[in-house]
Chain A
Amino acid sequence: MSNRPKVEGVDTKYVIKQVEKQLDSASRREFGKRILSLGTLSLLSGCVLTDDDSIEKMLMSVSRWNDKVQGFLFDPNKMAPTYPESMITKPFPFNAYYGEDEIRVVDGDSYKLELSGLIKERKPWTLTQLAMLPQTSQVTRHICVEGWSAIGKWGGIRFSDFLNMVGADTTAKYVGFKCADDYYTSIDMPSALHAQTQLTMSFADETLSKEYGFPLKLRIPTKLGFKNPKYITEIYVTNDYPGGYWEDQGYNWFSGS
């Protein structure tokens, strides 16, 4: 009982620190929650973990290390399994960082795909021009970071063909994507050049619907779902780590399957 004031003092300081963090930004809010769970854990394990930021940093650096390990494990010749069309998941789930009522509608007629960064021919592409390029299709499994998976059929341009055609520097580290729904992500060059990585224009043999990313999405069956950006408006090649919408909040960047 005698040491109660001391405990209260520590608690107040802790709470103020937490409140400050929560006021900082939205992503900080999640972090605060995480620390609360960590507090429970420290009680269980008998450890005293006071430096919250150092744990956050430690977990992030392990995640960067896991990027390297996955890059090392990645075999460009290993193909994601393909399935008969009878196994296609119907209806195929809609997924985004927002609800279905907020789907962005892109005007196909005025649409232009912009190219930038370490690419030689940076002229924009119209949908008609893209549709004239050789098309391939695949029936593969989309695996979500949440754990669920669904099989779909996607058609479009082999991404490595496109990158080579526009003179992208394929020795660069990253390919980044900017999207009409303000989503953004990036992938490593070896995964971008994988034979199954596709600049997708159709789903289930029909023009991409607005749910699945009209007019252009990336289909990359060697990575988790959130690495498959929809509504792509710009592609760039760079050596500077570009991050991504979810990646910046803590999802592992490489996220390869």
Chain B
Amino acid sequence: MQIHQHPLYVKICHWVNALAILLMVTSGWRIYNASPIFEFKFPKMLTIGGWLGGALQWHFAAMWLLAINGLIYLLVNIISGRMWSKFLPIRPKQLLADFRDALMLKLDHSNLQNYNAVQKSAYLSAMLFIIVTVLSGLAIWKSVQFPLLRELMGGYDNARIVHFFAMSLIVAFVFVHVVMVTLVPETLVAMIGSFKRNKTAGAKS
């Protein structure tokens, strides 16, 4: 079976995004710990930066990676038409049927090129969560300079809560995403590249 390969720019954007999310979340948890919104703190060992100032440096450096990489991904996807052909449309009836099949581990993964409705909505949701996190983050960072964004988020304090829950949804997505990849390992190959060189003897690419 020829394993499907994602376009190179998708692979690069995916892994840059994975690194950016890792840096943003682990530094963000450290920043959260400086003034927790809820009755808990994140374990120090899961955070980076060492102290608030260090975590802020990481957060405000990795944000460029996240934002620029995300913009490139969205722009190329939209302009090339990949966004519509890969992720849309999602029909509610199909989504329900696929979701039922997914819960019973009956989804067909023989063709990795075409996403089922559950995948489509999950990947689109992940994009949405990241966009909301970036926008609420901007509202927190620049609450005076971006008044519209600040009001859209319900004010400065509320923007922190939006930022927190959008982060939580991203982390939840990553968790499910990684579980799914372990269940269907071919998807990881599609995102890295095929190592089965012996099957295409001599061909180097």
| Distance of A34 Cα from B52 Cα, bound (Å) | 10
Q: List 6 A-B contacts (CB under 8 A).
A: A31-B54, A35-B50, A37-B49, A73-B145, A144-B35, A147-B35
Residues of A within 8 A of B (CB): 30-38, 40-41, 44-45, 58-60, 62-63, 66, 70, 73-75, 78-81, 141, 143-149, 221-222, 246, 249-252, 256-257
From 141 to 180 in chain B, residues with beta carbon under 8 angstroms from any chain A beta carbon are 141-145, 147, 150, 156-157, 160
| Distance of A75 Cα from B146 Cα, bound (Å) | 10
Interface of B is mostly: helix
Residues of B within 8 A of A (CB): 19, 22-23, 26, 31-32, 34-35, 37, 45, 47-54, 56-58, 60-61, 64, 141-145, 147, 150, 156-157, 160
Q: Are B51 and A34 in contact (CB under 8 A)?
A: yes
Hey, which chain A residues are within 8 Å of B150, CB to CB? 81
| Distance of A5 Cα from B47 Cα, bound (Å) | 30
- Lowest 5 A-B CB distances belong to which pairs? A34-B50, A250-B53, A33-B50, A147-B35, A146-B34
Q: Are B19 and A33 in contact (CB under 8 A)?
A: no
Hey, which chain B residues are within 8 Å of A75, CB to CB? 145
| Distance of A171 Cα from B147 Cα, bound (Å) | 28
Q: Are A256 and B145 in contact (CB under 8 A)?
A: yes
Q: Given A45-B19, A146-B34: A249 and B53 within 8 A (CB)? A: yes
Q: Specify which of B35, B50, B142, B143 is in contact with A31 (CB 8 Å cutoff).
A: B50
Distance in angstroms from B61 CB to nearest chain A CB is 4
Q: Given A62-B60, A252-B56: A44 and B147 within 8 A (CB)? A: no
Among A30, A79, A249, chain B packs the most CB atoms within 10 A around the CB of: A30
Q: Are B54 and A250 in contact (CB under 8 A)?
A: yes
Q: Specify which of B53, B60, B144 is in contact with A66 (CB 8 Å cutoff).
A: B60
Q: Are B142 and A257 in contact (CB under 8 A)?
A: yes
Q: Are A59 and B57 in contact (CB under 8 A)?
A: yes
Distance in angstroms from B21 CB to nearest chain A CB is 12
Hey, which chain A residues are within 8 Å of B22, CB to CB? 41, 44-45
Kindly report which residue of chain B lies nearest to residue A196, judged by CB atoms: B144
Q: Are A41 and B57 in contact (CB under 8 A)?
A: no
| Distance of A75 Cα from B23 Cα, bound (Å) | 30
Q: Are B61 and A33 in contact (CB under 8 A)?
A: no
Distance in angstroms from B134 CB to nearest chain A CB is 15
Hey, which chain A residues are within 8 Å of B157, CB to CB? 149
Q: Are A30 and B54 in contact (CB under 8 A)?
A: yes
Hey, which chain B residues are within 8 Å of A36, CB to CB? 50
